[in-house]
Chain A
Amino acid sequence: GAVVSQHPSWVICKSGTSVKIECRSLDFQATTMFWYRQFPKQSLMLMATSNEGSKATYEQGVEKDKFLINHASLTLSTLTVTSAHPEDSSFYICSARPGEYQPQHFGDGTRLSIL
């Protein structure tokens, strides 16, 4: 149990395109999900906390107008990278916790490449 699914797993697109990444909790409800970005050979960096039914909380230095987060249901959060540029190329990962006293469960990530 406690599966977090991300889609797509890999996307290549042209500069200036907007890209949407979905994060779903398949067998549990998640009022809170987290979005991370990871560059090659580096650690995960928290970008934002996605809150169901309310605005996301962004970490310092993360542009909220650039990385739009929507958490419209208890099982789905989306991250939209707007007007993506090559420097936005990275590995994006989401996570959610099934409940208290449970560890975080992570999606398998989305590799985003902007040409």
Chain B
Amino acid sequence: LAKTTQPISMDSYEGQEVNITCSHNNIATNDYITWYQQFPSQGPRFIIQGYKTKVTNEVASLFIPADRKSSTLSLPRVSLSDTAVYYCLVEKNTGFQKLVFGTGTRLLVSP
């Protein structure tokens, strides 16, 4: 299982773009990168998933360089409701590999 490393916490203000970087140096060829968001007293919620280059959906973008040893979650124009913990995970999309959560990044968005 590939280990991930993220900053413990980040601070931002409403309307700013937030970029959270995750390193996963021992990612395997078949591994995907997935980001989850968790609010207090709730289960994690899927945000975005990618394999390489750039993926964008309605809430975020995911940038993955060619060597895939890191990835960056980009949240455009954050709001107070984006205050949460963000987890980066590396997983295989086939089979039923168990997920191992790292520390996550606690994002605090202020007015």
Nearest CB of A to B47, in Å: 9
User: Which residue of A43, A91, A103 contacts B46 across the interface (Cβ within 8 Å)?
Assistant: A103
A interface, CB within 8 angstroms of B: 4, 6, 31-32, 34, 36, 43-46, 49, 91, 93-95, 97, 100-109, 111
Number of A-B contacts (CB under 8 A): 55
Kindly identify, within residues 36 to 72 of chain B, every residue whose CB is under 8 Å from any CB belonging to chain A.
36, 41-46, 49
A49 proximity list for chain B (CB < 8 A):
96, 98
Query: What residues of chain B have their CB less than 8 Å away from a CB belonging to chain A?
Result: 34, 36, 41-46, 49, 87, 91, 93-96, 98-104
Q: List B contacts of A105 (CB < 8 A).
A: 46
Q: Which 3 pairs between the two chains have the least Cβ-Cβ distance?
A: A106-B43, A32-B96, A44-B101
Looking at B36, B41, B43, B101, which has the most chain A CB atoms within 10 Å of its CB? B43
> Nearest-CB distance from B38 to chain A (Å)?
8
Residues of B within 8 A of A111 (CB): 41
